[in-house]
Amino acid sequence: ATPVAVAVATGRGAKEGLLVRDASAFERMDRIGVVVLDKTGTITEGRPTVSEVLPREGWDRDHVLRIAGDAERGSEHPLAHALAAFAGGAKVESFRAVRGGGVEARVDGDRVLVGSQAFLRREGVEVPEADPDGVGRTVVHVAVNGVTAGSIALSDSPKPHAREAVAELHRQGAEVFLLTGDSSSTAMAVAQAVGIPADRVFSRVLPDEKADRVAMLRHPEVGVTEAGGGRQRRVAMVGDGINDAPALAEADVGIARDDRRCLDAVLWVARTGAAWPDLPGRLGNGNSQWRRFDR
Ligand code: ADP
Ligand code: MG
């Protein structure tokens, strides 16, 4: 049996609103026991800004920022948007984005990598352990021709109503989890800020592994949590619909929106369990489009 109810397959689709794959999903929303929230853009605003640049010895701060910005010009990632603002207009060739990792590009002939510690290490770059004391901030590392040039910390605030939304979901009896590719210190800080318990935080999860975590939560007897009871629990996943498409599809109900209303949407369906055709009206937003989605 296919458990999937609602899913979003493409970034383009996500930009148009929520895509509904199976209308019966929303009839089951009142029995959702677990809500999994993506971090970037779901709990947080999704508009990170550079808060600190730490060049390695011998590197100039502005230079590190500029090459990182140039390397990120071709990426759609929220972190990339923040960094690309500092681009210097260098010639960029052979750009490559690695989902959940970072980017690689030739910037004025130099091989530049920007991304997580794990990504740079996979690419054979030695990254010093010491992070900036960036609790709650995302730290990306910059390497030029195989050598680290520095680190850049970016902060992305939780949405103003995120804490209240999590509290409301708890009042409804749901368990709320945080799922992110970011580091555990950043994930923990965000979780704490919005009231998600520390033992319900999954960090450093690659895009393709996010679906596995959702599957584990649906089947707690083989999975990672003993909370909640029951052999199978209905799981709702809320994400950006781009990186998270497999996880959204794995959940009983997947909800993707490209804007800040996604938490409102899950809250509303959690409260009412109403059928999907009513949702756009109830959200009071003429711009959302809802449609059937067939994989
Ligand atoms: P999230 O789960 O918050 O949506 P992602 O899975 O998109 O995060 O990314 C996980 C991590 O990979 C980021 O925290 C960052 O360290 C790194 N990363 C991904 N894409 C980029 C990028 N374009 N530039 C720099 N770092 C990136
Ligand atoms: Mg994401």
Nearest to 210 by CA among 50, 47, 36, 87: 36
Give whole-number Cα distances, 252 to 80, 120, 152, 184, 288, in Å: 31, 35, 37, 26, 22
Whether the CB of 69 sits within 6 Å of ligand 1: no
**Is the Cα dihedral 250, 253, 254, 260 positive or negative?**
negative
- Phi, psi (degrees; rounded to nearest 5) at 140: -115, 150
**Residue ranges per domain, the chain?**
11-45+157-292, 49-155
Whether the CB of 137 sits within 6 Å of ligand 1: no
Whether the CB of 148 sits within 6 Å of ligand 1: no
At 129-147, the pLDDT tens digits run: 755 555 678 999 999 999 9
State which fold the 49-155 domain adopts.
Calcium-transporting ATPase, cytoplasmic domain N (3.40.1110)
* Segment (H or E) for 50: strand 49-55
At 217-276, the pLDDT tens digits run: 987 665 444 444 445 678 888 877 667 777 877 887 777 654 444 554 555 454 444 433
Active-site residues, by number, are 38
**Rounded to the nearest whole angstrom, what is the distance from the C-alpha of residue 58 to the centroid of ligand 2?**
33
Residue 18 has pLDDT above 80, yes or no: no
As a whole number, the mean pLDDT across the chain is 75
Structure tokens that stand for 231 in this block = 């052999």
- pLDDT at site 201: 96
The residue whose CA has the least distance to atom 7 of ligand 1 is: 100
Single pTM value for the model:
0.76
Residue 64 has pLDDT above 60, yes or no: yes
With H, G, I as helix, E, B as strand and everything else as coil, classify residue 83.
helix
Distant-in-sequence, close-in-space partners of 89: CB < 8 Å, separation ≥ 6: 70
Give whole-number Cα distances, 114 to 63, 79, 295, in Å: 14, 10, 33
User: What is the Cα–Cα distance from 239 to 260, expressed in whole angstroms?
Assistant: 11
At 75-107, the pLDDT tens digits run: 988 899 999 999 998 999 999 999 889 999 999
Question: pLDDT > 90: what percent of the chain?
Answer: 40
11-45+157-292: CATH superfamily: HAD superfamily/HAD-like (3.40.50.1000)
* Ligand 1 atom at shortest distance from the alpha carbon of 75: 23
Q: In DSSP terms, which residues pair with 97 in a beta bridge? A: 103
* Segment (H or E) for 184: helix 184-194
Task: Grade residue 277 by pLDDT with cuts at 50, 70 and 90.
Answer: very low
Question: pLDDT > 70: what percent of the chain?
Answer: 68
User: What is the Cα–Cα distance from 247 to 212, expressed in whole angstroms?
Assistant: 8
Angle between helices 262-272 and 162-171 (to 10 degrees): 20
- pLDDT at site 231: 55
For tokens 């130099």, what's the residue?
110
For tokens 């009983």, what's the residue?
252
Distant-in-sequence, close-in-space partners of 158: CB < 8 Å, separation ≥ 6: 43, 44, 45, 190, 193, 194
Nearest ligand to the CA atom of 244: 2
Residue 61 has pLDDT above 90, yes or no: yes
Task: Grade residue 30 by pLDDT with cuts at 50, 70 and 90.
Answer: low
Residue 198: half-sphere exposure toward Cβ, Cα within 13 Å:
5
* Ligand 1 atom at shortest distance from the alpha carbon of 80: 23
Mean pLDDT, range 44-56, rounded to an integer? 91
Mean pLDDT, range 42-59, rounded to an integer? 91
Are 11-45+157-292 and 49-155 equal in CATH topology?
no
Buried (b) or exposed (e) across 174-195, using 16+ Cβ within 10 A? Answer: bbbbbbbbbbebbbbbbbebbe
- pLDDT at site 234: 80
Residue 7 has pLDDT above 70, yes or no: no
With H, G, I as helix, E, B as strand and everything else as coil, classify residue 261.
coil
